[in-house]
Amino acid sequence: MYAQMIKTASAGVKSREEMTDQEREFQDKIDNDIKIEPRDWMPDDYRRTLIRQIGQHAHSEVVGQLPEGNWITRAPTLERKAILLAKVQDEAGHGLYLYSAAETLGESRDELVKLLHEGRMKYSSIFNYPTLNWADIGAVGWLVDGAAIVNQVALQRTSYGPYSRAMIRICKEESFHARQGYHAIMKMAFGTPEQKRQAQSAVDRLWFPAIMMFGPTDADSTNSDQSMAWKIKVKSNDELRQQFVDQTVPQIEYLGLDLPDPNIKWNEERGHYDFSDPDWSEFFNVIKGNGPCNVDRMKDRVAAWDDGQWVRDGLLAHAQKKAAAKVAAE
Amino acid sequence: MSVDKQQLLQFLLRQGDNTLVLGHRVSEWCGHSPILEEDIALANTALDLIGQTQMWLGYAAEVQGEGKSADDLAFLRDAWDFRNVLLVEMPNGDFGQTLLRQFLFDAFQSVLMGRLMKSSDEQVAAIAAKASKEITYHVERSADTVVGLGDGTEESHNRMQAALEYLWPYVGEMFESDETDAAMAAAGIAPDPASLREEYEALIGKVFAEATLSVPESRYNHKGGRTGYMHTEHLGHLLTSMQWLQRAYPGCEW
Ligand SMILES: [Fe+2]
Ligand SMILES: [Fe+2]
Ligand SMILES: [Fe+2]
């Protein structure tokens, strides 16, 4: 999702007999849905895995500003521009909030950002796809935030207190984004033939990248047993993907657009929609850095950071001068 | 006292175009600022400015009485019909230049809005009252940043001083007066901008002193934005991206 393919730091799920007393007590809390708080004891692997997952989620919020920012200066009306600005502002706020959650685990924001810029941490694969027409902005809100919500609603029940609370707060805003996105693409789908063409193009291009957001199929998803046992992960990738497909297909139909996958069909027996697997080789390529925008996204973020060094240094120097003057005056 | 509609329209366009063009400029930063908190703050500033634009241009369209909307005014006029001061269309430059431009404008707005809240025109007064809450916050923030960077490191100081020298010749235009301003003043709708300069100079003087920046002595100023007579080359490029969708797909609902 916003956190995909998180490697669980673990040598495998331990049985109760293999656990130490501390580990057993910890696992009992989780099994009884008692939240783990920053001051509580936790296994190192639990801490490490969470830092990776929350950090990747935070990076996704931040990098996610770029594909949407790509259209802020071209938004077609004042209202659309205001809505998009407010959304991007929210996403940056989510980033901030999640970095703070990671900090409660002892990892600073600066350190996480450094790891991202060195290519040692990732962000969601979805933000390595371009936004090419105005309908893409609607589609991003509707499909991307929509997929994020499916995952994050599940994560509201995650075992780590600060992360769970972050998800509860963030989900409210994400739902708002998804609704606004759907409204924007609705205008396009119900508009002139040229607008409808943009809407169709957006759905065709973004459908598979959106369903890839949930990560590889369960069969290929490594180490998720431990994450499930720790309730860092609450539902499997395939479960979440199915839920997203089921809620989204009728929405595409309502828009009067062609389905982006000829194999989407209601399966009476399963009570779910069938659909094609995305091209997983494309997914793994994007994860490896070969998506259409990986290089430019990182170039933008690193440049923003490097170009801003003098600003951060300047403000810090000023704050130190003021603090020193205050001490001298006392 | 009744006022000439064309003059009132010009006045409203000046307000709305200032906030529209500056809001657009600030929004260009999205996702590229020096620190996450600034991404949030810049998006928020741009959002406030676009909100103010909706009010000013909405009222302008109403006064114009041709059945147009604020969007029509924003997206379907060419550069020569824009009435913003040149300052707000100047390029972002580095973060320091952007914040300095913001401060120079915020300081002006904070002085102006105080007066417009007492406007004889109820709608103008209402818009000013709403905007002034935002502007009070904007000017505090941009002033703090100017002080922090001006009185920061040697590099940040030098960059801020360079930005001030670059932008200073665009400050004076905000205080130009013409027959539109005279008509507004006569009708009690808005003050003569020239009358705001003393208060403005006091405000920015205090901040620049704290920022250890020296205000250039030259009083020469560029002008031509608020009359539309001669904008900079920058405005056309800004409008090219801002208006593109509306121009390429006319008459659509978005
Ligand atoms: Fe978000
Ligand atoms: Fe998001
Ligand atoms: Fe969102």
* A308–B34 CB contact, under 8 Å: yes
Give the A window 96-155 contacts with B, CB below 8 Å. Answer: 96, 99, 109, 134
Dist. CA B140 → ligand 1 center (Å): 28
Residue B11 lies in a domain: yes
Q: CB-based contacts of A165: which residues, under 8 Å, 6+ apart? A: none
Asked if the Cβ–Cβ distance from B50 to A82 is below 8 Å, we say yes
- Which of A72, A92, A305 faces B40 most closely, judged by CB atoms? A92
What CA–CA distance (Å, rounded) separates A101 from A224? Answer: 22
**What pLDDT is recorded for position A10?**
78
Interchain contact A197–B (C-beta under 8 A):
no
Give me the pLDDT at residue A13, please: 87
Instruction: Tell me which amino acid residue B137 is.
Output: Y
Cβ distance of B47 and A89 shorter than 8 Å: yes
Assigned domain for B254 exists: no
User: What does pLDDT average to over chain A?
Assistant: 95
Determine which of A313, A315, A316 to mutate to test the interface with B (most B C-beta atoms within 10 Å).
A315
Q: What own/partner pairs with CB < 8 Å and gap ≥ 24 does B115-124 have?
A: B115/B190, B115/B191, B115/B196, B116/B190, B119/B188, B119/B189, B119/B190, B120/B1, B120/B187, B120/B188, B120/B189, B121/B3, B121/B8, B121/B187, B121/B189, B123/B59, B124/B12, B124/B59, B124/B189, B124/B190
Structural domain containing residue B195: 5-215+226-248
Reported confidence tier of residue A3, pLDDT bands at 50, 70, 90: confident
pLDDT of A8-61, one tens digit each?
777 788 888 999 999 999 999 999 999 999 999 999 999 999 999 999 999 999
Q: How much of chain A, in percent, has pLDDT values that exceed 70?
A: 99
Asked if the model's pLDDT at residue A316 lies above 70, the reply is: yes
Residues pairing with A267 in the sheet: A272
Q: Residue A122 carries which side chain, given as an amino acid letter?
A: K
Residues paired with A187 in a beta bridge: none
Does B54 map to a domain? Answer: yes
The structural domain count of chain B equals: 1
Is A85 at the interface with chain B, CB within 8 A?
Answer: yes
Q: Is residue B221 part of a domain?
A: no
Residue B1's pLDDT is what? 53
Residue A304 contacts B, CB cutoff 8 Å: yes
- Which regions of chain B are under pLDDT 50? none
Distance CA B38, CA A153 (A): 29
| Residue B218 to chain A, least CA–CA distance (Å) | 28
pLDDT of residue A1: 58
**Cβ(A106)–Cβ(A48) under 8 Å?**
no
Q: Mind listing the pLDDT tens digit for each residue in A168-211?
A: 999 999 999 999 999 999 999 999 999 999 999 999 999 999 99
Q: How far is the CA of A325 from the centre of ligand 2 (A)?
A: 42
Q: Does any domain span residue B133?
A: yes
Nearest CB to B152; choose among A76, A86, A318: A318
Q: Is B154 on the interface with A (CB under 8 A)?
A: no
Which residue, among A62, A71, A77, would best test binding to B if mutated, counting the most B CBs under 10 Å from its CB? Answer: A77
A165 CA distance to ligand 1 middle (Å):
14
In this prediction, residue A222 carries a pLDDT of 66
What residue of B is the nearest CA neighbor of A313?
A: B153
CATH number of the domain enclosing B98: 1.20.1260.10
pLDDT tens-place string over residues A94-131: 999 999 999 999 999 999 999 999 999 999 999 999 99
The shortest CB-CB distance from B31 to any of A65, A187, A318 is to A65
Window 13-32 of B, Cβ < 8 Å to A: 20, 24, 27-28, 30-32
Overall pTM surpassing 0.90 (yes/no) = yes
What whole-number distance in Å separates Cα of residue A69 and Cα of residue B137? 24
* Contact between chains at A85 and B246 (C-beta distance less than 8 A): no
How many Å apart are CA B205 and CA B147, to the nearest integer?
A: 12
CA distance B136 to B201: 17
Of A78, A194, A300, Cβ closest to residue B53:
A78
pLDDT digits (tens, 9 = 90+) for A205-262: 999 999 999 999 988 776 678 889 999 988 999 999 999 999 999 999 999 999 999 9
Q: Is residue B113 part of a domain?
A: yes
Q: Is A85 in contact with B50 (Cβ distance < 8 A)?
A: yes
Residue of B nearest to A316 (CA): B152
Angle of the B179-186 helix axis to the B5-27 helix axis, nearest 10: 110
- Minimum-distance CB partner of B95 among A85, A300, A308: A308
Identify which of A192, A311, A313 has the shortest CB distance to residue B249.
Answer: A192
In sign, the C-alpha dihedral spanning A60, A61, A66, A71 is positive
Residue B92, chain A, CB below 8 Å: the answer is no
